[in-house]
Structure 1
Amino acid sequence: MGDILFLSHRIPFPPDRGDKIRSHNVVKALAAIAPVHVGTFADDAQDFDCEDELAGLAASHILVRRSKCLSQAAVEALAIGKPVSLTGFDDRRLRSWVAETLRRHPIDVIYVFSGQMAQYVPAGFKGRVVADLVDVDSAKFGAYAAKSHGFRSWMERRESRLLRAEEARIVARADVTLLISSAEAALLRSNLPKGIARIGTIHAMGNGLDSAFYDPASVIPESRMKVLGGPRIIFTGQMDYAPNVEAALRAVTRIMPAVRSACRYASFHVVGRNPTPELRERDCVDGTNVWGRVDDIRPWLAAADIALVPLDIARGVQNKVLEAMAMGLPVVLSPGAATGIDAQDGRDFLIAESDAALAGAIFSLAQNPARARAMGQAARRWIVENASWKTALGRLPEYVRRDERCLSGVA
C-alpha cells in the first residue's frame, strides 16, 4: 500500500490525556504499516516542545497553533450554520498543507482522528478513509444540554443536532468508522438516519494500556501527597474539561463531606492540568488538594489509597480508570465511568451511582485494607491480561488496508 495521511485535532505527543494517549498509540501503529504524514494542531506553546518527537515519527508533518477561541468559533458557526466543534478546527493553513501533501505523496489512506477533522477529507479523494470518531460527540452535547439552561442549553442542543448530521455524513463517506467501545458503536448506529448503507462498516476499537509502564512496583510515591491525611482519594484528568470539572466538584461538595464524617482525616486530591478557578478555590479547604498539571501521573496514583471517578457524563472508555487499575488502586466509580471496561464489579472495582453509595463504597474500602489491597491486585491483574495496546489495535492493519473482510459484519 501507499502512504497514510493522519489528521488529528491535537498533536499525539505527549500521551498525557485520554485522546492523546489513543492518538499516540494509533499513529505509532500506523507508522509501522506505512509512511505516515501527520497534520495536527497545537493547543499551547508546550505542544511545540514535542514537535521533534512528531518529526521523528512522521514522514512529513504540519503542527498548527490553534488560535481560534471558543467565542470566535461560535460566532462563525452561527453565521454559517455549522457546528462550533468544526468551525473551531477549521484552518486554511492545514487545508493548504493537506492539498499539497495529497499532490506530492502517494496517499492511499486518510486516517481521521476525531470528527472535527473529517472536514479536511477532499470530496475527490479516491483512496480509503478511516474515521476514528472515538466517541459519539452528538450524544455528549445532548447530555450537556439536558444539564444546562437558557442560551447555553440552546447552543448545546444545536451542537448535538448538527453533529448528529455530521456523524451521518462521515459514516456515509468513510470506508470504516471506529468507536472506542461496542456501546458507542451501537449508539452511533442507532442515531443514523434510515437508509445509510454503510452501517456495517462501524466497528469498535478499544483503548489499551502499557501495564509495564503503569507498574506500581517501579514507581516512588509522590511525597507531597503521601504525607497528607488518609485515606488519600484521587481523581485525575484534564481539569478544564466540563465532565471532569463536574465530577471533581461533585466529589468535593457532595461525596467527600460524607466520607470525612466517617473518616476524619480523609483527603481528596485533584490531579491534572488547567484546573478551573472554581476548582482552584477549593484547594486546601476541608481536605481537598488541587495539584494542577504534573509531569508524571504515576507517582500520584502510587501515593493514593483509592481512586474515585464519579462521572455523570462519560463517553467511551475512561483512561483514568485503566491507569488507576494498572497502578493497583481500588477504584470506586459511577456506572458511566465503567462503560466499555469489562471488568467485574465487586472484584476489580466498585460501581456505585448515588453520592451516598459512592461515599459508602469508599468508607467500606477504607475500613477494610485487606479488601482494598485484594481489589487493587485484581484490578492490575485484569489490566495485564485484558487491556494491552497490542490487543486493542489488533485489527488496525485490516482497517487501513483494502481488506473487504473488515466490511463484512458488524463488530
Structure 2
Amino acid sequence: MADLLYLVHRIPYPPNKGDKIRSWHVLKYLAVHFRVHLGCFIDDADDAHHIDTVKALCASTCFIRQYPMLARVRSVSGLLTEQPMSLPYYRNAGLQRWVDALLHTGQLRQALVFSGPMAQYLDTGPGHVLQRVIDFVDVDSEKWDQYAATKAWPLSLLYAREAHYLRNYERHIAQQFNASTFVSSAEAALFRQRAPMARRKTGYFNNGVDAAYFAPPADTGAACDNPYPAGRRVLVFTGAMDYWPNAEAVGWFVQRVWPALRLRFPELLFYIAGSRPARQVRALADTPGVAVTGFVADIRPYLAHAALVVAPLRIARGVQNKVLEAMAMQKTVLATPQALQGINAQDGVEVASASDEHEFVQQASRLLTENIDLGPAARLRILQDYSWDKNLQRLGALLGIHSDPSLGRGPGHGAGNGAAHPQARREPPS
C-alpha cells in the first residue's frame, strides 16, 4: 500500500462542521487505499478527545494545538508582506519540520492538501517532487470579497486586502499543483474564471450525505422524540452558531422576516439549533417566539419535527451541508439562492428559494398554509446525487485509485454530479 500525505487545517473529527464533514469522509476514503500520514491543527480543546479516533486511520500523525486568539495575532504579520493573513494564521514550524522529515524519508509520492493555506507546507523545498492535489473546497477569496461588501471601514478595507492577496495565492498554488478540486461545479467554474491559467487542472467532487443516518424516522424506525412544545409549528435553522455567516443569517431573519411571519402565524416558533452561539445570536432569544438551543447532541429530531427548515444565508460559498442534511431528512427547505448555490436541486420541486425578506414571507406563508411538502423529492435527489462512495471516486481518479463500476459511471463520463479528472472534464468557457 502506497503512502500519502494529507494536510488539513482542522482535525477532521468529529464531523460537526461543514469542512470537517468533508475532510473526515475524505480521510476514511484515503485510509482504505493508502497509508495516510495526517498533519492538522486542533483549534478546539474538545476535539483533542478524538485524537485516537483519527489516529486509528493513519500510519502517522502530527496534531498541532492552535489557539485562535494567538493565531489571529500571528496573522497580522501578513500585513507586512504581500501575503494573505490566512498564511501566517496556519503557519507552524513544528508542522513544517514534521512534513520535511517525512519527505526526506523518500517514502512519499503523493500529497492531498485540504484548504488553500495548508499548501504552504509543500509550496517550496522537497514537496515539489510529489504528485500534489489540493482540495480548495470553496473559492475562499470570494468569501472575503463578500465579507468586505458587508462590513464598514476599516474592516471592509482589511477584508478586501485579504481577498486580493488570497486570490493571488490561490492562482499560484493552482499553477504549482498537479490538480485542484472544489465542492461543486459552480465553484470550480468560478475558479476557472479567476484562474484561467489553471483551468485544465481544475475539477470538483460533490459532498455526500449519510442518507441512512439522516433519514426520516419512518424509514429508520428509530425513536425521535419531538423537542418542540406541543401544538406549535416550528421553523428551524441549524449550524455552528459561532460562524459569522450563520449568525448574520439568523439575525437578518429575526429582524426582517420573523415579525411578519409571527403576525400571520401566532403559534409559530423559530428555533436556532447549533453549538457555541455567539453573543448576538443568544440575544435573539429575547425576541418573542425565538429560541436558541446551543449545542444539541442529535440534530435529527429538530429537523424531523420542524414544519419548515430555513437557510436564510446571505453570505455563502460552496455547498451548505445543513441544506443537504435537511433534504436527506425529507424536509421542505426554504433558502436563499446563496445557500442553494452548488446544490443540484430544482427550485419549487425539491427546494424552495427566496431572495429577500418579502419573498421569504410569501414563500413561507404559502408553504405553511398550503402544507406543501417538497421533502420526498428532496430526499430522492440526495439518494441520486449525494453519495459519498460515488462522489469520492472522482477524487480517487486524481490519486490513481480505480473506480468501482458498481457505484455508477466513473470520473470523466459525465455523471453530472461530481468532479471528473480536471483534464478529462472541463466546464464550457464562461
Indicate whether the TM-score tops 0.5: yes
Match of 1:144 in 2: 147
Contact residue 39 and residue 61 of structure 2 kept, 8 A: yes
Distance 1:295 1:279 in 2: 19
Match of 1:312 in 2: 314
Match of 1:273 in 2: 275
Runs of 4+ in structure 1 deviating by more than 3 angstroms, as ranges, are: 218-223, 402-406
Are 2:91 and 1:75 equivalent residues in the alignment? no
Select the residue among 229, 234, 238 that pairs with 1:227.
229
Question: What amino acid is aligned across from residue 179 of structure 1 in structure 2?
Answer: F
Question: What amino acid is aligned across from residue 359 of structure 1 in structure 2?
Answer: V
Question: What amino acid is aligned across from residue 27 of structure 1 in structure 2?
Answer: L
Match of 1:22 in 2: 22
Q: Unaligned 5+ residue runs, structure 1?
A: none
Select the residue among 181, 186, 192 that pairs with 2:189.
186
Match of 2:382 in 1: 383
Distance 1:93 1:24, change over 3 A: same
Select the residue among 338, 341, 350 that pairs with 1:339.
341
Match of 2:57 in 1: 57
Deviation larger for 295-304 or 350-359: 295-304
SS of the aligned residue for 1:307 comes to: strand
Contact residue 320 and residue 340 of structure 2 kept, 8 A: yes
Distance 1:122 1:139, change over 3 A: closer
Select the residue among 137, 153, 158 that pairs with 1:155.
158
Question: What amino acid is aligned across from residue 397 of structure 1 in structure 2?
Answer: G
Match of 2:201 in 1: 201
Deviation larger for 168-177 or 299-308: 299-308
Show CA shifts across 1:237-258 (max 9, x none): 1112121111111111111111
SS of the aligned residue for 2:33 comes to: coil
Contact residue 25 and residue 389 of structure 1 kept, 8 A: yes
Percent identity of the aligned residues? Answer: 37
Match of 1:114 in 2: 115
SS of the aligned residue for 2:136 comes to: strand
TM-score scaled by structure 2? 0.90
Question: What amino acid is aligned across from residue 160 of structure 1 in structure 2?
Answer: A
Match of 1:398 in 2: 397
Match of 2:408 in 1: none
SS of the aligned residue for 1:314 comes to: coil
Deviation at residue 291 of structure 1 after TM alignment: 0.9
- What is the correspondence of 1:228-267 to structure 2 with a 5 Å cutoff? 230-267=232-269
Deviation at residue 261 of structure 1 after TM alignment: 0.9
Give aligned pairs, total.
404
Distance 2:230 2:292 in 1: 13
Match of 2:132 in 1: 129
Deviation at residue 399 of structure 1 after TM alignment: 0.7
SS of the aligned residue for 2:101 comes to: helix
Contact residue 72 and residue 89 of structure 2 kept, 8 A: no
TM-score scaled by structure 1? 0.94
Distance 2:209 2:103 in 1: 33
Contact residue 33 and residue 397 of structure 1 kept, 8 A: no
Distance 1:268 1:40, change over 3 A: same
SS of the aligned residue for 2:285 comes to: coil
Match of 2:362 in 1: 360
Deviation larger for 338-347 or 205-214: 338-347
Deviation larger for 155-164 or 303-312: 303-312
RMSD over aligned Cα atoms: 1.9
Q: Unaligned 5+ residue runs, structure 2?
A: 403-410, 413-420
Deviation larger for 119-128 or 19-28: 119-128
- What is the correspondence of 1:212-223 to structure 2 with a 5 Å cutoff? 212-217=212-217, 218=220, 219-223=222-226
Deviation larger for 65-74 or 349-358: 65-74
SS of the aligned residue for 2:63 comes to: strand
Distance 2:113 2:72 in 1: 25
Distance 2:225 2:339 in 1: 25
Distance 1:74 1:88 in 2: 5
Deviation at residue 402 of structure 1 after TM alignment: 9.1
Distance 2:74 2:44 in 1: 17
Deviation at residue 105 of structure 1 after TM alignment: 5.9
Contact residue 5 and residue 37 of structure 1 kept, 8 A: yes
Contact residue 220 and residue 302 of structure 1 kept, 8 A: no
Distance 1:81 1:13, change over 3 A: same
Contact residue 336 and residue 354 of structure 2 kept, 8 A: yes
